[in-house]
Amino acid sequence: MNVSNQKNLVNVTDTLRGRDFLSLHDYRRQEIEELLALARQLKALQKAGKPHSLLEGKTLGMIFTKSSTRTRVSFEVGMYQLGGHALFLSGQDIQIGRGEPIRDTARVLSRYVDGIMIRTFAHQDVVDLAQYAEVPVINGLTDLLHPCQVLADLLTIVEYKGRTEGLKFTYIGDGNNMAHEIMFGGAITGMDVVICTPEGYGPDQEIVRLATEDAQKNGGKITLLHDPVEAARGADVLYTDVWASMGQEEETAKRIKAFQGYQINESILQVAHKEAMVLHCLPAHRGEEITHEVMEGPQSAVFDQAENRLHAQKAIMAATM
């Protein structure tokens, strides 16, 4: 890849340089669309075997207090493909695990690395890290939000549907970090988002309020329902997540009982749009929130979606770092 082509890629998102990536809510629609366009360009270059060393000589510090498969591998491989280097830092490897204030860790790491990705439990930890760091901070996941996943989801939807505008995006399951970020991502890109949860497991009301404001500005809509069949009717995208997330293991038995019927299965597919696509952020508990047949069926885009974590995150890193 020649220098002029690299400049063309980077110039797509010059306005994003140095920005934190904590939530899609922090970004304008045009900026999200620019990130998606960059992700598609980087994916095409990678598939063609062409180098795209936009971050040559740069280093990403990756803080994990919450374990992961896809997040670690996709960020580490992504930095390698961009010509940079990634450092894995578990909670036991750094002084946060021994009580060092996040503000101190942020300021020290900023002297060593060019960007920080953090995957953790409390969202406030990410906010604090971003406040005190002098380099871009990327939210790899918190209990409140998961922007990297939803940017990959949007990339997958655009690849399959050619657009986001006017699509019905139905999420069935827990009102968790995925539901929250799906509302933000779907609202900002002009989709009609339906969040369907059991009573008592709905999304955070402040997130609903903010997402509704985003939807009003961008031609989308947010709807909260409790009936999975009604929620799935005519849906272009069906999405689900595990019923008990990491850290909720003690609630598993209670949640399995509460979430009976909130499953993406053949019956739900029958009421959705005939060309509806099925997404799941993984890991999946087959037989609970999704059936094996649907996950392996022709309407499933789950593994393309998982791959797109790599390409979407490369766009985030290239744009911000």
Annotated binding residues for carbamoyl phosphate: 68-71, 95, 119, 146-149, 281-282, 309
Q: Indicate if 146 belongs to the active site.
A: yes
Tell me the C-alpha to C-alpha distance, in Å, between residue 302 and each of 196, 199, 280: 20, 27, 6
Q: Indicate if 309 belongs to the active site.
A: yes
Which residues touch 69 (CB under 8 Å, ≥6 apart)? 283
Q: Are 274 and 238 in contact (CB under 8 A)?
A: no
Q: Indicate if 263 belongs to the active site.
A: no
Q: Indicate if 111 belongs to the active site.
A: no
Catalytic residue among 19, 29, 119, 311: 119
Q: Indicate if 19 belongs to the active site.
A: no
Q: Which residues fall in the annotated binding site?
A: 68-71, 95, 119, 146-149, 177, 241, 245-246, 281-282, 309
Determine the 3-state secondary structure of 5 from DSSP. helix
* Residue 181 to residue 196: CA distance in whole angstroms: 14
Catalytic residue among 41, 81, 149, 263: 149
Catalytic residue among 174, 241, 280, 311: 241
Catalytic residue among 19, 25, 180, 309: 309
Catalytic residue among 146, 180, 255, 280: 146
* Residue 319 to residue 184: CA distance in whole angstroms: 20
Token code pair at residue 214: 């985003």
Q: Indicate if 123 belongs to the active site.
A: no
Tell me the C-alpha to C-alpha distance, in Å, between residue 251 and each of 204, 255, 257: 19, 6, 10
Catalytic residue among 281, 305, 311, 313: 281
Question: Which residues are part of the catalytic machinery?
Answer: 119, 146, 149, 241, 281, 309
